[in-house]
Amino acid sequence: MKKTATLLLAALLFILPSCSTAEEISAESDMWRVEIISAETAESLTATLAAVQYGGSILETTSEVAPESGNLFLLLELTIEKIGEGRALFSWSDAHVVGKEGNEYYRHPNDTFLANLNIPRLKGTDIVFGSEYGFACFEIPKGASGLRFIADGGNINIGIRL
C-alpha cells in the first residue's frame, strides 16, 4: 500500500510540471480592473449596409477600412472598471500594446469606424468612473508576437492570446 502511494505521488509530481497554467485574461491595479474578453487580428474590416430606396429596390453599400501596408488591425474586446476610490483616470495616451521586441502600439487615432461597422466601440476619451465595455483597435505589424496590453503606468499587464 505504501509503495503504491509512493508510485502514485511520483507519477503526479512528474505530470504536474508539464500541465499548462491558466492564461491570464485580466489584471487589477489599485484603481482599475481590465479584462480582455477576446482578441483578434484582421487584414481589413468590411461591412455591407442595405438601404431600401423609394421605389422599393435595395441599395447595398460596402464599407471597407484597411490598415497601412504591412500591418494588421488588432481588435481587443475589453471591460475596464474603476475599482478604487479617489481621483484617477484610465488614459488612452498611457494604455498601449507592446510586442516581444519592445515596440509599443497605441490605440488607432480614429477608430470611430468600428461603430460605423456595427462593432461596439469602447469610448476613446479618458475613463473617470464606472465600467466601460467595447472594442479598441490597434494597428500592429503582421509579424508582431508576444503581445501584451499595458495600462495604468504599467500596473496593468495582460498577455494577449491570438
The domain tally of the chain equals 1
pLDDT at 123: 93
Q: Residue 34: its pLDDT value, please?
A: 97
| Across 29-43, 111-125, 144-158, least confident range | 111-125
> Would 12 be classed as within a structural domain?
no
Whether 4 is in a domain gets the answer: no
For residue 65, tell me if it sits in a domain: yes
pLDDT for 135 equals 98
Say which CATH number the domain at 85 has.
2.60.40.1240
Write out the H or E segment, with its range, that includes residue 136: strand 131-141
pTM assigned to the model = 0.79
- Determine the Cα–Cα distance for residues 64 and 147; give it in Å rounded to an integer: 26
What does the pLDDT read at residue 14? 33
> Chain-centre distance of CA 127, in angstroms?
17
Number of CB atoms found within 10 A of residue 108's CB: 19
Cell of 74: 488588432
| Residue 2 falls inside a structural domain | no
How many Å separate Cα 24 from the centre of its chain?
Answer: 12
Listed range (7-16, 105-114, 126-135) with the worst mean pLDDT: 7-16
> Which range marks the domain in which residue 139 is found?
26-159
Q: Do the domain assignments include residue 33? A: yes
Mean pLDDT of 19-23: 36
Decide if 116 is inside a domain: yes
Residue 19 falls inside a structural domain: no
pLDDT tens, 54-77? 888 998 888 789 999 999 999 999
User: Does the residue 11 lie in any domain?
Assistant: no
CA–CA gap between residue 25 and residue 158 (Å, rounded): 6
